[in-house]
Amino acid sequence: MLRLDGVRCRCHGRFMTTSPLTAAGHWIGGETVAGSAGTLPVVNPATGDLVAETAAGTAADVDRAVAAARAAFPSWSATTPAHRAAVLRRVGAGLAARTEEIASTITAEMGAPVGLSRTAQVAFPAAVIDSFVGLADTFPWTEEIGNSLLVREPIGVVAAITPWNFPLQQIVSKLAPALLAGNTMVFKPSEVAPLTARILAEVTVEAGLPAGVFNVVYGTGAVVGEAISAHPDIDMISFTGSTRAGRRIAAVAAETVKRVALELGGKGANIILDDADLPQAVSKGVAMAFTNGGQVCGAWPRMLVPAARQDEVVALAVEAAGQYTVGDPTDEATRIGPMAHEAHREKVAGYIERGVADGARLVFGGPGRPAGLEKGAYVQPTIFADVDPRSAIAQEEIFGPVLTIIPYADEDEAVAIANGTAYGLTGGVFGEPEHALAVARRLRAGQVDVNGGQWNALAPFGGYKQSGNGREFGRFGLAEFLEIKSIQR
């Protein structure tokens, strides 16, 4: 069994060393399966150096993984929820035991600051597993309605396709409920950040998960993603990623009428009301725009402020932004590392240039690379004020550390601006608690925080409009992976 210790050893020191690790092939049926179509590079975005290589999957690799998952389904689905929860508990413990390895691997493959990798990238998935384990005994697996017995059963073979921004979190948020429900799984990680998938596969084996229940096929969306979407023996796809890719998956999957759960893009608005605690609202808002370099679907890249208080907000935002040190992601002091890859850096940089060209007032950062960081996929964290809510930087998902401050005349206009994009994933409202709650109820978004409300692993997460159609976490996330059978007696 391959262990990715080589990646861990190469993740120490300034910008990490350059010696690459050639990873093994796919993980199918409990064993390594060599690829037959070459390899894909995994590049360190802080340096541009090769970190590793993974197999470039094909439709035939998908066929083999699906066959393994289908063969494992009868016995795994016949186990009890309590048994499956016990396995997941061991998976969580196994991930926690390898925190440093996983954190340094994620930092190497997609550039998250190592402190963030240790907490949000590793601790968060462990908390998600714990939350689902706790549901095993309380979830209504069966239910009586009149003379009908409702039985909730696993769907079958579930495919998961995930992005690069939170490589472990995104798959654990699908794997935990899918396996607890009794499904088996085929997983395609992003080719940009695929290495933690192998660590997860190793941990599942050590936790006692039977061969074939969890399978990994590396590759691109154009090849492996397409094959998964069209596969007749896959019963469900759970996808997190861009709205564009989600549309394609839904269109291809429609041919086989499989269930598709989509968690897509976002353009969250943080509405700061006139009666808000301004320092708190702005500090939290900047954090929700810049964390993970803004590469978060649930970020709040729009800060909506009373027009008469915009100058106050700008001053506070600039002060807060100055605390976000950009640099080497292996440095504990770094708060913003590189973008996940060079093509994405170019995209984010293009939006910053677009904001300047469209006349938004630049108050922090701006075009060009940060000083002293001429190498690597770095951009300057940037803040614009006096932003037109109809402009590209206020409407389109930038997915980088770019905050747009938008003034509003009154509360109705604030709500209209917040709701005035194609997205509806997250949002925030700051103000007197009852007032803020009333405004939160008016937002067309799947999750809204009032005055920085604490994250709740049992509350559903998902979007309205083009932000998707599924829900993750808690009993709502578990229900996504279950069929309902009605038996009349």
Q: Could you list the active site residues?
A: 263, 297
Contacts of 286 (CB under 8 A, 6+ apart): 317, 320, 321, 324, 403
Backbone Cα Rg of the chain: 22
Q: How many CB atoms lie within 10 A of CB 208?
A: 11
Contacts of 69 (CB under 8 A, 6+ apart): 157, 184, 185, 186, 212, 213, 215
Structure tokens at 15: 């910008």
Residue pair 360/393 in contact by the 8 Å Cβ criterion: yes
Helix (H, G, I), strand (E, B) or coil at 334: coil
| Interatomic CA distance for residues 285 and 269, integer angstroms | 9
In 3D, which of 289, 331, 220, 245 has the Cα closest to residue 428?
289
Residue pair 224/195 in contact by the 8 Å Cβ criterion: no
Residue pair 52/93 in contact by the 8 Å Cβ criterion: no
SS (H, E, C) the chain: CCCCHHHHHCCCCCCCCCCCEECCCEEECCEEECCCCCEEEEECCCCCCEEEEEECCCHHHHHHHHHHHHHHHHHHHCCCHHHHHHHHHHHHHHHHHCHHHHHHHHHHHHCCCHHHHHHHHHHHHHHHHHHHHCCCCCCCCEEEECCEEEEEEECCEEEEECCCCCHHHHHHHHHHHHHHCCCEEEEECCCCCCHHHHHHHHHHHHCCCCCCCEEECCCCHHHHHHHHHHCCCCCEEEEECCHHHHHHHHHHHHHHCCEEEEECCCCCEEEECCCCCHHHHHHHHHHHHHHHHHCCCCCCCEEEEEHHHHHHHHHHHHHHHCCCCECCCCCCCCCECCCCCHHHHHHHHHHHHHHHHCCCEEEECCCCCCCCCCCCCCCCCEEEECCCCCCHHHHCCCCCCEEEEEEECCHHHHHHHHCCCCCCCEEEEECCHHHHHHHHCCCCCCEEEECCCCCCCCCCECCCHHHECCCECHHHHHHCCEEEEEEEC
